[in-house]
């Protein structure tokens, strides 16, 4: 594991070394997350780099990234742990002779049941425990960063469960007792604001809102990812995407789609944007036909002509 982040500048440098270009606000929060050991809730539109920030922060701090993708109906078992019943059954088959010896002399069914129950600890031990992402992050021998992605897609009941885990970084398993974190994990929760999250969860976390980047910062991102694409073409694409995001679209272009568009245009040997070229390639950056048709009404403006 890397040493703790020493300062905001150190956070910025480490994130940039991973290929993530942070704003000053992002660098500040990254520093505080590492030093305060508090979870951070990262909100913002889809495609602005929330998940990428978690990946970059894990790399910058030398932590293993463990991801929990949230969805409607996600429950504690899928997030926390399950018992490997197939493995327990296999061991039962392999140890059937020993189990038979255990039951020798049992006078009643109740007596037999009590003898079997006395061996519960054998079959409900760490050997048969299957950790899911939350418990895995707590028990990991290597310090971890737990990414709870798109928490707004999970049910409010799951939020309540998370509050208990994030409060103590410990989990109680009835058969095993309380298991505490081997190393306090760093926790990043992301939300696309599909629903309002509880005040209790927000109080537990630091908060960071990431919006679409400024044109200057997005151009830096594109140039860092696509150094062989000319600055002129990159700047034209970033400017056009900025104009698209101001339109009333079903889905505004993400940073990743800006990069894809610039790369595709470079492969087409484009040196700059033209109205014709924009019309031919809008489907690369807009993923709804109604958005494409709306944007085609402003081709000249998008091309900067």
Tokens of 241: 């995407």
Facing residues of 68 across strands?
148
Mean pLDDT of 87-112: 55
Position 282 pLDDT exceeds 90: yes
Predicted local distance difference test score (pLDDT) of residue 102: 52
Q: What is the DSSP letter of 195?
A: S
Strands 170-173 and 81-83: unpaired
Tell whether the model's pLDDT for residue 84 goes beyond 70.
no
Judge whether 63 and 142 are in contact, CB under 8 Å: yes
Q: 247-268, pLDDT tens digit by residue?
A: 999 999 999 999 999 999 999 9
Q: Taking phi first (over 0 means left), then psi (-120 to 50 degrees means alpha), and beta for anything else, what does residue 236 get?
A: alpha
The whole-angstrom separation of Cα 43 and Cα 50 is 7
For a pLDDT cut of 70, what percent of the chain falls above it? 85
Which tokens belong to 47? 């495609």
201: CB partners within 8 A, 6+ apart: 41, 151, 159, 162, 163, 189
Residue 203 CB contacts under 8 Å (≥ 6 apart), including other chains? none
Q: Which of 74-83, 163-172, 202-211 has the highest mean pLDDT?
A: 202-211
The structure tokens 């698209």 sit at: 244
Q: Which tens digit of pLDDT belongs to each residue from 14-47?
A: 999 999 999 999 999 999 999 999 999 999 999 9
Q: How far is CA 79 from CA 107, 140, 173, 187, in A?
A: 43, 15, 13, 14
**Which pair of tokens denotes residue 225?**
């990812």
Tokens standing for residue 114: 């009590």
User: Is pLDDT at 110 greater than 80 in this prediction?
Assistant: no
Average pLDDT over residues 125-130: 68
pLDDT over 80 at 117, yes or no? no
């Amino acid at each position: 594991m890397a040493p703790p982040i020493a300062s905001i500048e150190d956070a910025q440098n480490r994130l940039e070394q991973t290929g993530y270009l942070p704003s000053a606000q992002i660098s500040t929060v990254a520093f505080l997350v590492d030093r305060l050991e508090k979870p951070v809730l990262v909100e913002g539109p889809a495609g602005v780099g929330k998940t990428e920030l978690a990946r970059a922060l894990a790399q910058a701090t030398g932590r293993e990234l463990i991801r929990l993708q949230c969805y409607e109906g996600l429950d504690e078992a899928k997030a926390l742990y399950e018992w490997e019943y197939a493995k327990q059954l296999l061991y039962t088959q392999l140890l059937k002779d020993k189990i038979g010896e255990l039951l020798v002399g049992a006078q009643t069914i109740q007596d037999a049941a009590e003898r079997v129950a006395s061996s519960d600890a054998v079959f409900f031990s760490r050997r048969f425990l299957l950790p899911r992402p939350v418990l895995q992050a707590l028990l990991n021998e290597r310090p971890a960063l737990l990414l709870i992605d798109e928490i707004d897609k999970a049910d409010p009941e799951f939020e309540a469960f998370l509050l208990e885990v994030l409060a103590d970084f410990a989990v109680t398993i009835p058969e095993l007792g309380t298991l505490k974190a081997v190393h306090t994990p760093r926790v990043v929760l992301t939300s696309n604001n599909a629903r309002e999250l509880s005040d209790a969860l927000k109080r537990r976390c630091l908060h960071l809102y990431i919006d679409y980047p400024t044109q200057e910062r997005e151009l830096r991102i594109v140039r860092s990812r696509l150094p062989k694409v000319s600055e002129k073409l990159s700047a034209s694409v970033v400017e056009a995407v900025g104009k698209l995001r101001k339109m009333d679209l079903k889905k505004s272009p993400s940073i990743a789609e800006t990069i894809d568009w610039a790369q595709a245009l470079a492969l087409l040997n484009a040196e700059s944007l033209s109205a014709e070229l924009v019309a031919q390639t809008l489907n690369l950056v807009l993923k709804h036909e109604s958005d494409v048709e709306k944007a085609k009404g402003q081709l000249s403006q998008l091309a900067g002509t």
